[in-house]
């Protein structure tokens, strides 16, 4: 059975799913998106992603295309039609279609909505997590509103390509002060020498990851120490452990930064346990 996409009110075969050439998302990156992990065909961290979607849209003054309840039904229907049980669902909302002009259309247009689903091989993902991944660092060169989840991802795409060419899985952006901001599509974490979990605070120019927020709940429940404070790449390689979080990677151990091993170069016990606990919580609360 082929993949099915949702495009502006219709379910269409993936290969025939198209948007207008003057969709502002296509021409100006005037669009936001969300990605939910799917566990057992259900949406993980559903409300956290909806809350961030509403915030991103609000910051850009794009109207919610429909209610949360209606969006939930459509997302679930798209998942069902794709018969995907373990995977990801992608939702994109652009300001809509209008004659090309940088400023917003004088007469508001309807936001354009697209949904696509992809399957994830959880066995392969677990094998990858058991091995851990490498990251590379790259100078922070993104705009100043990385808190908004827009499709303006060119700097992220170039960083990810740099990682791939170096045989790494992710790129960590490093700001002018030498501090890691976040990954190209994930938040960055370490377990420092005292066993404290450390990740950048969200007052910085980063995306407030929904996985990050849910993992903080797990960390608090486990009574672990958390320090929302940035770290340097050197602190990461001197740390006991490092990992990344995101809807795509969940909690994924990082075993090398720019080719230098983190800890003993293998996934550590804290990241491994947090991955398991996060997945248990996400599966149990998915809708």
Taking the complex as a whole, how short is the minimal distance between the CB of residue 217 and ligand PLP, in angstroms?
Answer: 13
Binding of residue 181 to ligand PLP (CB under 6 A): no
Residue of 76, 131, 149, 162 marked catalytic = 149
Contact 274, 245 (CB under 8 A): no
Among 210, 255, 257, 271, binds ligand PLP (CB under 6 A): 210
Among 82, 137, 150, 211, binds ligand PLP (CB under 6 A): 211
Binding of residue 182 to ligand PLP (CB under 6 A): yes
To the query of whether residue 149 is one of the catalytic residues in this protein, the response is yes
Instruction: Give the interface segment with ligand PLP, choosing from 160-168, 180-188, 220-228, 278-286 (CB under 6 A).
Output: 180-188
98 vs 242, which CB is nearer to ligand PLP? 242
Tokens, residue 218: 């797990």
CA gap 96, 80 in Å, rounded = 26
Q: Which parts of 17-46 interact with ligand PLP (CB under 6 A)?
A: 35
41 vs 248, which CB is nearer to ligand PLP? 248
CA distances from 227 to 189, 197, 216 (A): 10, 6, 10
Taking the complex as a whole, how short is the minimal distance between the CB of residue 108 and ligand PLP, in angstroms?
Answer: 28
Binding of residue 187 to ligand PLP (CB under 6 A): yes
7 vs 146, which CB is nearer to ligand PLP? 146
Taking the complex as a whole, how short is the minimal distance between the CB of residue 185 and ligand PLP, in angstroms?
Answer: 4
CA gap 84, 36 in Å, rounded = 13
- How many separate helices (H) and strands (E) can be counted in the chain? 8, 15
CA gap 85, 76 in Å, rounded = 11
Binding of residue 65 to ligand PLP (CB under 6 A): no
Contact 174, 140 (CB under 8 A): yes
Place of tokens 């230098």: 260
**Interhelix angle 210-221/46-59, nearest 10 degrees:** 140
Q: Which of 240, 237, 247 is nearest to 282 (CA)?
A: 247
Give contact residues for ligand PLP (rule: CB under 6 A). Answer: 35, 182, 185-187, 207, 209-212, 245-247
Which residues are the active-site residues?
149
């Amino acid at each position: 059975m082929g993949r099915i996409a949702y495009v502006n009110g219709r379910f269409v075969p993936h290969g025939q799913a198209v948007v207008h050439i003057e969709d502002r998302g296509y021409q100006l990156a005037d669009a936001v998106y969300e990605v939910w992990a799917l566990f057992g065909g259900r949406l993980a961290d559903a409300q956290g992603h909806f809350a961030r979607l509403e915030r991103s849209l609000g910051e850009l003054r794009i109207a919610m295309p429909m209610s949360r309840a209606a969006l939930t039904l459509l997302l679930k229907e798209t998942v069902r039609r794709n018969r995907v049980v373990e995977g990801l669902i992608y939702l994109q909302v652009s300001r809509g279609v209008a004659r090309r002009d940088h400023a917003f259309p004088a007469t508001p247009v309807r936001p354009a909505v697209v949904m696509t689903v992809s399957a994830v091989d959880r066995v392969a993902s677990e094998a990858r997590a058991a091995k851990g991944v490498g990251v590379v660092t790259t100078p922070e060169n993104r705009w100043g509103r990385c808190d908004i989840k827009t499709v303006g991802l060119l700097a992220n795409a170039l960083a990810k390509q740099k990682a791939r060419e170096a045989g790494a899985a992710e790129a960590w952006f490093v700001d002018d002060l030498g501090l890691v901001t976040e990954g190209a599509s994930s938040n960055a974490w370490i377990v420092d020498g005292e066993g404290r979990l450390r990740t950048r605070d969200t007052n910085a120019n980063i995306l407030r990851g929904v996985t990050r927020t849910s993992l903080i709940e797990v960390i608090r429940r486990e009574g672990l120490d958390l320090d929302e404070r940035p770290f340097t790449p050197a602190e990461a390689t001197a740390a006991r452990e490092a990992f990344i979080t995101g809807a795509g990677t969940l909690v994924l151990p990082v075993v090398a930064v720019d080719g230098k091993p983190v800890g003993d170069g293998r996934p550590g016990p804290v990241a491994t346990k947090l991955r398991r606990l996060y997945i248990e919580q996400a599966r149990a609360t998915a809708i």
